[in-house]
Structure 1
Amino acid sequence: MQALTQHLAQTLKALRVQRQWSLTQAAEHSGVSKAMLGQIERGESSPTVATLWKIATGFAVPFSLFITPPEAPAEVTHYRDGERPPFQQRNAQMQVRPLADFDPLLGFDLLEITFSAGAFSESAPHAPGVTEHVVVISGTLEVRVAQQWHLLKQGEVLRFNADVPHAYRNSSDQPALIHDLIHYPRAG
Structure 2
Amino acid sequence: MNSVQRNIGRNLQKIRKSRNLSLDKTAELTGVSKAMLGQIERGESNPSVSTLWKIANGLHVSFSSLMKEEKTSVNIVSLKDISPVIDDDGKYLVFSLFPFEVEKQFEVFSVVLEANYTHDAEGHHEGVEEYVLVQKGELEIMIDEKTYHLSEGDAIQFQADKPHKYRNKTNEMVKFLIIIYYPE
User: TM-score, normalized by length of structure 1?
Assistant: 0.58
Offset at residue 164 of structure 1 (A): 1.4
Counterpart of 2:168?
Answer: 170
1:64-75 map, 5 Å: 74-75=71-72
Q: What are structure 1's unaligned runs of at least 5 residues?
A: 1-70
Q: Contact conserved, 2:79 with 2:95, CA < 8 A, in 1?
A: no
Offset at residue 81 of structure 1 (A): 3.6
Counterpart of 1:100?
Answer: 98
Q: Describe the SS at the equivalent of 1:122.
A: strand
> What's the CA shift string for 1:26-64, capped at 9, x where partnerless?
xxxxxxxxxxxxxxxxxxxxxxxxxxxxxxxxxxxxxxx
Distance change >3 Å, CA 114–CA 73, structure 1 → 2: farther
Offset at residue 103 of structure 1 (A): 2.6
Q: Describe the SS at the equivalent of 1:75.
A: coil
Q: Describe the SS at the equivalent of 2:103.
A: coil
Counterpart of 1:153?
Answer: 151
1:35-184 map, 5 Å: 74-76=71-73, 77-89=75-87, 91-184=89-182
Distance change >3 Å, CA 75–CA 128, structure 1 → 2: same
Please, which moves more after superposition, 95-104 or 152-161? 95-104
- Partner Cα distance (1:93, 1:166) in 2: 17
User: TM-score, normalized by length of structure 2?
Assistant: 0.59
Q: Describe the SS at the equivalent of 1:111.
A: strand
Larger radius of gyration: 2
Offset at residue 73 of structure 1 (A): 6.5
- Partner Cα distance (1:133, 1:152) in 2: 12
Q: Output the amino acid matched with 1:175.
A: M
Q: Which runs of 4+ in 1 moved over 3 A?
A: none
Q: Contact conserved, 2:109 with 2:177, CA < 8 A, in 1?
A: yes
Q: What are structure 2's unaligned runs of at least 5 residues?
A: 1-67
Q: Describe the SS at the equivalent of 2:97.
A: strand
- Partner Cα distance (1:86, 1:182) in 2: 17
- Partner Cα distance (2:124, 2:170) in 1: 27
Over the matched positions of the two proteins, sequence identity in percent amounts to: 24
> What's the CA shift string for 1:133-183, capped at 9, x where partnerless?
010000000001111000000000010000112111000000000000000
